[in-house]
Homo-oligomer: A and B are copies of this chain.
């Protein structure tokens, strides 16, 4: 399979992206071609630094870069020769099966939506990410594409999120929940209450509301919400974990006895770090567009880029989008509601 990588996207591009691409080529025999899209001279310099050459590797030149803080819609419109836009176009023209970028999230969502369009029957794409918990891994969706989705859109997110959990993570009948402010059916706002009502009518394994207290309690493998709340929950998880580690580290350094104890227990801290390591999870996936699009986080390490490329190959391999089209068709037929796809992709929630 053929993967297009936005070599210039991310805080540490092109170094980490090129290194991650090499890691992917080394470990993943399924990749038949990997396009590194970006400034030829800079990408080439990175390859030379790492002394790597591979016949599957092809540099595609792009003269512009969409910066992490560029306003998404304008950036996509104006920077036609950006590495991100060029990489997406490879997918559009059928030359690549998937695009991977660690660049500006909003720009990626906008460009992917504009250029690749949504899959048949899908109202709006949504950004899905994986969150590890002690007893399961769950899909949180949407974390960045749609700030004010309708209940119908959240139902489609539930369908696509369930497929993600089944096809990629291997959960047979993933449990689906709506994120809300309490677990009882009556708790929530207009959006969650109506989404709850609709999800009950689907043949998804719907378990009701999930609130913040139950996120990690092994109650659901798919949790749907709007992009504002999803983004808030995702980032809050990340910073709560970070602050805990930092606090603990400070406390452990306070005297020699603690430091010695921490040294003996080092394996435990390392194991925990590995479990909660976002780099293992390969970034977020934009579901519902006509192409596979993986968003690695902005500060991606080489390992994170490599994971994102691995995830891209898993999606391609499972013919994921064909399954989405089937399941969305079935779901749309089940729920009596007008499906009016948006003519214009909206401004994405995050950049």
Question: A residues bordering B, Cβ < 8 Å?
Answer: 69, 71, 133-134, 144, 147-148, 179, 181-182, 184, 186-189, 211-217, 227-229, 231-244, 246-248, 250-252, 254-255, 257-269, 271-272, 275-276, 349-351
Residue from A238, A241, A251, A255 having most chain B Cβ neighbours under 10 A: A251
- By secondary structure, the A interface counts as helix
Q: Given A184-B69, A211-B231, A251-B268, does the pair A239, B258 have CB atoms closer than 8 Å?
A: no
Q: Given A71-B186, A228-B229, does the pair A251, B236 have CB atoms closer than 8 Å?
A: no
Task: Determine the chain B residues whose CB is within 8 A of the CB of A263 once the complex forms.
Answer: 261
Which residue of B216, B235, B261, B266 contacts A212 across the interface (Cβ within 8 Å)?
B235
- Beta-carbon contact of B227 and A181 below 8 Å: yes
- Beta-carbon contact of A212 and B189 below 8 Å: no
Which residue of B235, B241, B243, B271 contacts A211 across the interface (Cβ within 8 Å)?
B235
- Beta-carbon contact of B261 and A275 below 8 Å: no
Q: Given A241-B244, A243-B216, does the pair A228, B258 have CB atoms closer than 8 Å?
A: no
Which residue of B216, B227, B275 contacts A239 across the interface (Cβ within 8 Å)?
B216
A181 to B145, CA, bound (A): 11
| Closest chain B CB from A211 CB (angstroms) | 6
Task: Determine the chain B residues whose CB is within 8 A of the CB of A227 once the complex forms.
Answer: 181
The closest CB in chain B to the CB of A266 belongs to: B261
A198 to B120, CA, bound (A): 42
- Beta-carbon contact of B239 and A213 below 8 Å: yes
